[in-house]
Structure 1
Amino acid sequence: MASLMDSESNRHFSLKPKARRWTDGQAWVNWSRHEAYLRSHPRWKAHQVASVAEESLRIIAKTPPPGRPEFQCRGLVVGYVQSGKTANFTAVAARAADVGYRLVIVLSGIHDSLRNQTQRRLERELVDVGVNWITLTDPECDFKEPEVANGFGATGTVLVVAKKIVPILERLNGWLEKLEGQLADVPLLLIDDEADQASINTRGNRRDPSVDEDRPVEDESPSPTNQLIRDLLRRCPRATYIAYTATPFANILVDPGALDNRVGEDLFPKDFVIQLPRPDGYTGTEELFGVTARHRNVLRVVDPNDVRALKSKRRKKGEPLVVHGALDLPQSLCDALLTFALAGAIRVLRGHQGVPHTMLVHVSQVQKDQLRIGDAIEEQIRAWFNYDRAEPGAIRGMMRSSLTDFGEVQLPADVDAVLDEAVRNLARLEVVVLNSTTGDELKYEERPGRQLIAVGGNRLSRGLTLEGLTIAYFLRTTTMADTLLQMARWYGFRDGYDDLIRIWTTDGIAEWFVELALVEESLRDSILVLDKAGRSPDEMAIRMRAHSKLLLTSKAKSQMLEMDARSWSAENPQTILFPLRDATLLERNLELASELLRAHPPTQMAHGGAIAHDVPAHDIADFLRHYEGHPNSVAFQGGEIADWIQERAVVGELTVWTVFVANPQRERQLLLGGEPYGLVHRSLTGNEAIGILTDPRHEGVDLHGGPDRYRVAATFNARMMRQDRPPERGLLLLYPLDPEPLQAHARAVLGVALSLPRTSDDGRSFIVNRGLLHG
């Protein structure tokens, strides 16, 4: 930890000169060309390119210099669902090539559609504009072992974009196996897109037979995909693994100490976790379901009867499947279809011709349901036009009703023109059923102006971008928060049509998403705390807020999960156990207090002590981390409290502090921060323990009316003081204790206490990785 500063002109402990990065002075050839490509496209604004530049540099600087002899780096980058993670790792790959990584492998999901989409993008934005790239995959072909195994003789960087499935990973491992002994000079960057899918070890780890000879080793092997990824990394003496996901719950819960005797350490992001900034113009959970959603008109509630009408009933084995007729679409889905045609018309009249426009229909993971619903939608559209021929103007009337139900929206033309275009647009609608049976693709690049209704299940649940999405009809339920967030494909960038987003779903699912907005916010805050504290992920647990109805991830992926209700809301933690025999440690604590008081000198004498006002939270956190208590102390853990304070400060709580130093009028005094303070008398109640450290009146020294406002007979109500304390203000209490009654061989013994307000995490349940909770 950085030492406290002792400067009258600069009183913030953690103010440090900007640290040099090992990447400073690097020539960025590939990155510069990639950056020029981005700037040449009108959809990329200058500040967006600048953000990609800054974040990609921040990430590559977190990796070890590739020139080091050996390293195994593990990192995690957390983005938002459909928010530009691919743009970030493309930029990171460009920079990786520039700093000397010779092999870049991108594991892009488990479906061909996403892998092919990623391959095309990397070729267009990276390979075609860059220098010295050698590609071993193409848009039509996944990885196949090259005829000449060693492609690293020439200068350049080899690029592989592969599906994250066992057969492909086995081919990659087989290829690297043939290069054994030649990989010392081939630094590897492995980018794992959608890293919480398939990559997580849901089984065991083989133990070292020399230590656990009586334990079976084969039965404890890691799950196949996880094992193969770890084996890829193990084969390269210099390897960096960067996981990318918007739902990192499972990645954070990987066992940080897991080791397999054949494939090495697991994929816990021990070296860094980076939260990407919220992109400009992004529409996410907060906008659609959080506090800001109150001013939008997004949600439409689907009746439970409509849900039952669309899903196949559960049937016993041997029973025939009973399906609904093709025309039996519930009214809610009919309304959604008409609204989609209307939204497309508005977009066309706004000048959005020749760009994708998509509707999501995600009702069931059962392919028979998907096929039946796709057929029913096509039949319904035909039926509307047949009806319109018999009753001219019928569709126009339905569109007028849909426009009324749409709510307030800025129309680009008069109502009649909008309705005319909506009727024409209804005829343009195309239904695409996306599953392994149909083999259909979205084909945005080949036919960019399509008005698509995408019906599907698992293929729509992760990674694949639904471009121009406005209308979602979403009934898919799950028990896991990460799965639900990934299935919500309505997130992303909606420049010029953000006001047209409408979501049909059930009341229950909507409530899940409302709480998920809080879960996401809490997670990102905790990652920010980690960064501000300057700690690595294996030093400080990331706390994730539990969801009241959903698991954060599957039980198989969360074996290290531990519920952690650690909150010091409205509490008064204090030191009552001291290392009285360790004179050196006691002296360090006194010097720590002196440095704090020199940086923030008290300006007021009142209530039996000296008071310093408006001390920033990070200085208090630094002090608590440095303060060394008794090794057996349970009640007061300075490092854990410091982490919690910084976590609360991120959300606007405990941001400003008062420091109070008890100063009784006694002859025995001590210099702290250059000023004399009377020593406080406390007696031993045990070997190295005192009874109570704090004087209850001191908890009110900075409250309105002071301690006397809380006087009850001959004592003071400290609990009420904490209840009345503003949530943004904390109080640090320092007690320089007389060493004589404590039988301590030191100038004094520093006692520390805090008076804490009620904070918003009071009573909340949090989840942590138990491998880090007590570390």
Structure 2
Amino acid sequence: MAIELPQLHALKPRLALWTDGTSWTNWSRHEAYLRSLQKWKPHQLASVAEESLRIISKTTPVDRPEFQCRGLVVGYVQSGKTANFTAVAARAADVGYRLIIVLSGIHDSLRNQTQRRLDQELVGVGVDWITLTDETTDFQEPSVADGFASTGTVLIVAKKITPILKRLNQWFSKLEGRLADVPVLLIDDEADQASINTRGNRRDPSIDTEIAPDDGTAPSLTNALIRDILRKIPRATYIAYTATPFANILIDPDASDSIVGEDLFPKDFVVQLPRPDGYTGTEELFGTSAVGRDVLRPVDPADVNALKRKQRRKSEAVVARGPLDLPQSLADALLTFALVGAIRLLRGQLGKPHTMLVHVSQLQQDQLLIGAAIDEQIRNWFHQEEAEPGVLRQIFRSTLAGLGTVELPASEDTVLEEAVNNLARLTVVVLNSKTGDELEYDDKPGRQLVAVGGNRLSRGLTLEGLTIAYFLRTTTLADALLQMARWYGFRAGYDDLIRIWTTEGIAQWFVELALVEESLRDSITALNKAGRRPDQMAIRMRAHSQLLLTSKNKSKMQTDNARTWSGENPQTILFPLSDGDLLKRNLDLASELLRRHSPTQEAHGGAISHDLPAEDIALFLRRYEGHPNSIAFQGPQIADWILERAEAGELVNWTVFVANPERERQILLGGRRFGLVRRSLQSNESIGILIDPRHEGADLHGGPENYRTASGFNAKAMREERPAQQGLLLLYPLDPAPLRAPTQAVLGVALSLPRTTDGEQRVIVNRGLRHD
């Protein structure tokens, strides 16, 4: 029996337009297969049932004589997008699609992985499936039969590369005239990779009579081949899947080429998949949900320079010294991987994949050098152990201290002994075309893998059981950076063991990417609530301070609105902790503000001053000295914006909240004592998250209790309810001890800002659409 949910009934009126009487045979069998797997919980199955039905209901009914439907499904990085499109494919077969094509990345490893899964979950349990590809063979034109003469559904899983797409295109050219009765679903996985047109479009000479088609302005080849395939199919649905849809949303909705037809803009629908239960992503690791986590580990600039220098001199290094020396931070990460692997085994997670990611360079030679260095370092540790028995246990003991509050499943001695044993189990694989190495999770499920790679680790490929990441790969593109974050996903039973070694700058990028993602998903939700199609209403995307959302040749339709902090909560998370004089100046600045505007109320864990003018807040922010590398908090720019809004009658009335916990350690500010707030270092000079969410409601009617939910205080809802005239400045005197700062306290600053009339944030919008 298929899962039935009350909330699905709202979808059925539209679904009944073209699925009345559908038996859902393939979906029911697919669902039964998933239910037989222990990892699927009932509510997760219910979600897959609901979302796959929602997506099918948004497509054009297959009984129409001709149609070209374009849609986009937005998931999360490593969050189960494959599970969703597998369920959608099952339902598509049930409603009458005769051919389903899945374009699965640009590497064999991902295509093979996807083919294997669809064979198991669809073909192996469904009815009347005909496959034209298999786990080892990509698409080749059938020599005789194509499968359309039967009643079944033909399945193709193909790489998204030009040789394969040309074969598909040639096959469809031969099938013209036979396709009128063959509805086709084309699922484009990782649809912001390769599918986007990065060139132009040839003009239509019937419209522009003076301009002949010019191959120099033709679309980029992969994009043109996909469009040409769809153009040849009378009844076609194209659904793009990605976790980073910036480029897809920024396609020109009116773009058309005189030869290959309309572009791939998702004109009919955009669906945001819900955040899966148990998912660990940007928000959990770097956003407001990251409070209390101990995830980030800084990579010293000297280590970065050593690796980069060796990359520049790689040929010289190989000749003169053999493999490069392993930097201390990478050695620490490797030891931690062996240790957390031991903890997982002692927790009973036997026969489960366990992986470490090492992503430093996209160059294959660099990857080979790093892989060899890791192999050599493991051998050196055991040689040292032979010379000095017990040395590995001593090394692991210091590593264990760095895991902080992880609950050990056995005694320390038992854990250390298992860690030594586990170090000997580590297998290093270098994932690139030169080595031919593969992950082999199915054949060797209990492997302890150190996966070294570059581009093959950047897209789609799932690293199962990933706990430790050593990540130095830089990029200027937000979508590329998110896709490289292979540590996202489901980490049941070992979520507390995730550790990421990276640079301070990359860590700060991810903190702000949490806000970028939230903004995009909110905008998609607003689109669907308004009942609009994507070609009727702009999807707004918050811009990142330092990163482009996607490459410029993929984003020709974007426009930048003026910078605004409307509805945001900027906060200081990076501090110049070694500069005692600067830290003291900030404390003096707070004292001066509080002497002029003494607190008149004690509530919600702090002291509150009311009715400050915008000018005083702007002056404070302009004089506050933050970290020179901060991107999440820019005091002078925010001050300018506040004064601009004040001239428009907004943000004219301010409250100051000073956190004042009951602590023995205190500091004198503005003539009165305040308890010091404790925050821990997440990396070199970063605390991760500053504010306590409840404090954003300290000056609202009814206080923060009005915004309490089952999961805590909803600070976003507080900002939505905040009057446009009323701003909140939050001051946090931080205990210097855990921050190792040479001063009496470290002043953290945050703002809770209402929605203002100048826009939702600095946004990127598709300039060809209505901006309402």
Instruction: Please indicate, yes or no, whether the TM-score normalized by the shorter chain is above 0.5.
Output: yes
Q: TM-score, normalised by structure 2?
A: 0.73
Q: State yes or no: 1:469 paired with 2:466.
A: yes
- Structure 1 vs Structure 2: percent identity of aligned residues? 74
Alignment partner, residue 57 of structure 1: 53
Counterpart pick for 1:143 among 97, 119, 139: 139
CA distance in 1, matches of 2:57, 2:309: 52
Structure 1 position 173, deviation (Å): 0.9
SS at match of 1:75: strand
Q: State yes or no: 1:405 paired with 2:392.
A: no
Structure 1 position 368, deviation (Å): 1.0
Shift in alpha-carbon separation, 1:287–1:386, aligned structure 2, 3 A? same
Structure 1 position 330, deviation (Å): 1.0
- Aligned pairs for 1:738-757 (under 5 A) are none
Shift in alpha-carbon separation, 1:757–1:545, aligned structure 2, 3 A? closer
CA distance in 1, matches of 2:764, 2:102: 30
CA distance in 2, matches of 1:521, 1:32: 34
Alignment partner, residue 270 of structure 1: 267
SS at match of 2:451: strand
- Aligned pairs for 1:278-317 (under 5 A) are 278-312=275-309
CA distance in 1, matches of 2:314, 2:284: 44
* Mean Cα deviation higher: 202-211 or 757-766: 757-766
Q: State yes or no: 1:109 paired with 2:102.
A: no
CA distance in 2, matches of 1:151, 1:372: 48
Alignment partner, residue 339 of structure 1: 336
Alignment partner, residue 133 of structure 1: 129
CA distance in 2, matches of 1:171, 1:144: 7
Cα contact 2:339–2:400 (8 A) shared by 1: yes
- Aligned pairs for 1:362-377 (under 5 A) are 362-377=359-374
Alignment partner, residue 157 of structure 1: 153
Structure 1 position 564, deviation (Å): 2.4
Counterpart pick for 1:99 among 57, 79, 95: 95
Structure 1 position 473, deviation (Å): 0.4
CA distance in 2, matches of 1:327, 1:228: 44
Alignment partner, residue 38 of structure 2: 42
CA distance in 2, matches of 1:155, 1:213: 46
Shift in alpha-carbon separation, 1:761–1:33, aligned structure 2, 3 A? farther
Cα contact 1:209–1:217 (8 A) shared by 2: no
Output one character per residue of 1:391-418: Cα deviation in whole Å (capped at 9) or x when no partner.
Answer: 1100000011100011110111111110
CA distance in 2, matches of 1:210, 1:256: 20
CA distance in 2, matches of 1:136, 1:157: 11
* Mean Cα deviation higher: 22-31 or 170-179: 22-31
Shift in alpha-carbon separation, 1:443–1:727, aligned structure 2, 3 A? closer
Cα contact 2:527–2:533 (8 A) shared by 1: yes
Name which one, 1 or 2, has greater alpha-carbon Rg: 1
Alignment partner, residue 770 of structure 1: 767
Alignment partner, residue 195 of structure 1: 191
SS at match of 1:242: strand
- Aligned pairs for 1:140-539 (under 5 A) are 140-215=136-211, 216-312=213-309, 325-326=322-323, 328-539=325-536
Amino acid across the alignment from 2:99? L
Cα contact 1:546–1:767 (8 A) shared by 2: yes
SS at match of 1:125: helix
SS at match of 2:306: helix
Shift in alpha-carbon separation, 1:318–1:429, aligned structure 2, 3 A? closer
Q: State yes or no: 1:88 paired with 2:81.
A: no
Amino acid across the alignment from 2:323? A
Cα contact 2:310–2:324 (8 A) shared by 1: no
Output one character per residue of 1:99-128: Cα deviation in whole Å (capped at 9) or x when no partner.
Answer: 000000000000000000000000000000
Structure 1 position 19, deviation (Å): 6.9
Shift in alpha-carbon separation, 1:265–1:348, aligned structure 2, 3 A? same
Cα contact 1:312–1:369 (8 A) shared by 2: no
Cα contact 2:538–2:771 (8 A) shared by 1: no
Alignment partner, residue 28 of structure 2: 32
CA distance in 2, matches of 1:534, 1:19: 16
- Structure 2 unaligned blocks of 5 or more: 1-8, 568-699, 702-717, 725-752
Structure 1 position 727, deviation (Å): 4.8
Amino acid across the alignment from 1:728? E
CA distance in 2, matches of 1:38, 1:396: 43
CA distance in 1, matches of 2:319, 2:259: 51
CA distance in 1, matches of 2:328, 2:530: 53
Cα contact 1:565–1:763 (8 A) shared by 2: no
SS at match of 2:72: strand
Q: TM-score, normalised by structure 1?
A: 0.73
Cα contact 1:274–1:527 (8 A) shared by 2: yes
- Aligned pairs for 1:680-695 (under 5 A) are none
CA distance in 2, matches of 1:306, 1:318: 19
Cα contact 1:107–1:164 (8 A) shared by 2: yes
- Aligned pairs for 1:576-587 (under 5 A) are none
Aligned-residue Cα RMSD (Å) equals 2.6
Shift in alpha-carbon separation, 1:365–1:390, aligned structure 2, 3 A? same
CA distance in 2, matches of 1:66, 1:258: 25
Cα contact 2:356–2:467 (8 A) shared by 1: yes
Structure 1 position 176, deviation (Å): 1.0
Amino acid across the alignment from 1:394? V
Cα contact 1:149–1:175 (8 A) shared by 2: no
Structure 1 position 468, deviation (Å): 0.2
Alignment partner, residue 120 of structure 1: 116
Q: State yes or no: 1:541 paired with 2:538.
A: yes
CA distance in 2, matches of 1:567, 1:341: 46
Shift in alpha-carbon separation, 1:567–1:370, aligned structure 2, 3 A? closer
Output one character per residue of 1:139-197: Cα deviation in whole Å (capped at 9) or x when no partner.
Answer: 00000000125420110100000000000001011111111111010000000000000
Structure 1 position 765, deviation (Å): 1.5
Structure 1 position 335, deviation (Å): 0.5
CA distance in 2, matches of 1:111, 1:761: 45
Aligned residues: 587
Shift in alpha-carbon separation, 1:417–1:134, aligned structure 2, 3 A? same
SS at match of 1:191: strand
